[in-house]
Amino acid sequence: MVSLGLFGLLYWRKRMRSVSALPVSDRVRAAAGIATTTVGALDFGAILRTHELLPDLRGSGDSFRALRAYFAVVQMLGRLIPSMAKWSEVEMTSCSRYVAVLVDMHLERNLASAVQMPVK
């Protein structure tokens, strides 16, 4: 069970890394109030708040619970163990970029669904 859990975590991290490498649109950065051209570790909360404002036209209802928990653990490790601070910063940045890309995709789906909805 432990090996299976570790495999799942490693697979999820690899998927997160590949998604977080995708570009983040200007509209997501603007909506989250990110003034810089890149998404950083400290932008995680702002991006999640932006996600909460988006209507869920497809009913997926993802709340990023696992990602929030992972981010909190990594942040705590970075604060408690100074030698892990750099790793923690990289992981938190990856989490922020991952959620930004997913919010961007969510917005695209909403826009596509809104275009396809019949007008009453």
The string of pLDDT tens digits covering residues 32-80 is: 999 888 899 999 999 999 888 876 655 555 678 889 999 999 999 999 9
Structural contact between residues 80 and 105, judged by C-beta atoms closer than 8 angstroms: no
Structural contact between residues 41 and 100, judged by C-beta atoms closer than 8 angstroms: no
For the whole model, what pTM was predicted?
0.81
The token pair at 33 is 């109030």
**pLDDT (tens digit per residue) in 67-79:** 999 999 999 999 9
Q: What are phi and psi of 57, to 5 degrees?
A: -70, -20
